[in-house]
Amino acid sequence: MIRLLQIELAKLWPAKYFRILVVLWLTAFISIPFGGVRLLEWMTNGMAFAENIMLDPNAWPIFDHGDLWQNLSYVYKMFTVFLSFVVIISVTNEFDYKTIRQNVIDGFSKKEFWLSKISLILFFSILATAMLFVLGVILNWTYSVSFDATLLATNSEFLFAYFFQLVYFLMFCFVLSLWIKRAGVVIATMVFWVYIIEPILSALVVDRWLDMPVLAQSLPMEAGWNLIQFPFTKYLLMQTQDFIGAQDILVASGWMAFFFLVSYLLITKRDL
């Protein structure tokens, strides 16, 4: 697996698009929390005129233990899109250049090719999770009321959920890329699916006509997204789910297994 990852990185590193995407991703990654702090300040200032509203965003403990991991993982899961482009372009390029074919001629088994892309997905997911962990520790230490290393572990299962969600979404993109093979069409399909098809399916077909909300929550993107619930409503004293639902994990794991299986079959059963 390490050998396959080395090959994968050797392919990617000289590519300009790859460096640009990684730099963009890293920049976003590091700058987000500082933006968050500013946002709270801005909200506080904005509310200064309404003194009777008992709301002080500046005092929200967004980086304190207990809240930290859910807040961070929720915000950061929205930035998976940079990595999804890396996966999509790296896979569709192999079809474009026909290098997938040459790789196999040179001695890769089709399974090894599959594993090399999986290793790339795992590598970035682990890297992002590790970075989020380090960032979380730094933010907690810098901005929280009290820094306590032992309390830092509270709700850290959201780190795992973040990792899971990364692998999940990147595997989804991997399957689309293998299936469609053209980067532009893959990205369009992904956007179309996430923002149009699934919401329509979920809202109309399953929710209203079939009246099966459970099924709506089991659509692939919905299931992946539900793992980490929107956390910030709790600061408005609304009821907020601050745990990972067992049913969500179950459904998402089912889809994940499906992505692994389908991507494997798409590579091994087809002629290159």
Which residues are at the interface with other proteins (CB under 8 A)? 3, 6-7, 10-11, 14-16, 97-99, 101-110, 112, 269-272
DSSP assignment of 2-28: HHHHHHHHHHHTT-HHHHHHHHHHHHH
Q: In the complex, what is the shortest distance from the CB of residue 106 to other proteins, in angstroms, rounded to a whole number?
A: 5
Taking the least distance from each CB to other proteins, the nearer of 17 and 232 is 17
Taking the least distance from each CB to other proteins, the nearer of 15 and 215 is 15
Cβ atoms of 164 and 85 within 8 Å: the answer is no
Taking the least distance from each CB to other proteins, the nearer of 13 and 195 is 13
Cβ atoms of 235 and 57 within 8 Å: the answer is yes
Taking the least distance from each CB to other proteins, the nearer of 105 and 214 is 105
Cβ atoms of 177 and 87 within 8 Å: the answer is yes
Q: In the complex, what is the shortest distance from the CB of residue 180 to other proteins, in angstroms, rounded to a whole number?
A: 20
Q: In the complex, what is the shortest distance from the CB of residue 133 to other proteins, in angstroms, rounded to a whole number?
A: 31
* Residue 248 tokens, joined: 């969500």
Non-local (6+) Cβ contacts of 207 within 8 A are 213, 216
Q: In the complex, what is the shortest distance from the CB of residue 19 to other proteins, in angstroms, rounded to a whole number?
A: 11
Q: Residue 146 has what DSSP assignment?
A: S
- Using a 10 angstrom Cβ sphere, with 0-12 exposed, 13-18 middle and 19 or more buried, the burial of residue 46 is exposed
Cβ atoms of 90 and 11 within 8 Å: the answer is yes
Q: Give the SS3 label for residue 90.
A: helix
* Residue 157 tokens, joined: 């299962």
If we measure between CA atoms, which residue out of 112, 120, 222 comes closest to residue 171? 120
Taking the least distance from each CB to other proteins, the nearer of 45 and 109 is 109
Q: In the complex, what is the shortest distance from the CB of residue 183 to other proteins, in angstroms, rounded to a whole number?
A: 15
Taking the least distance from each CB to other proteins, the nearer of 15 and 262 is 15
Residue 115 has, within 13 A of its CA and on its CB side, a CA count of 13
Q: In the complex, what is the shortest distance from the CB of residue 13 to other proteins, in angstroms, rounded to a whole number?
A: 9
Taking the least distance from each CB to other proteins, the nearer of 108 and 193 is 108
Q: Give the SS3 label for residue 201.
A: helix
CA angle 115, 119, 122 (to 5 degrees): 135
Dist CA 111 CA 267 (whole Å) = 8
Q: In the complex, what is the shortest distance from the CB of residue 14 to other proteins, in angstroms, rounded to a whole number?
A: 5
Q: In the complex, what is the shortest distance from the CB of residue 237 to other proteins, in angstroms, rounded to a whole number?
A: 54
Taking the least distance from each CB to other proteins, the nearer of 10 and 238 is 10
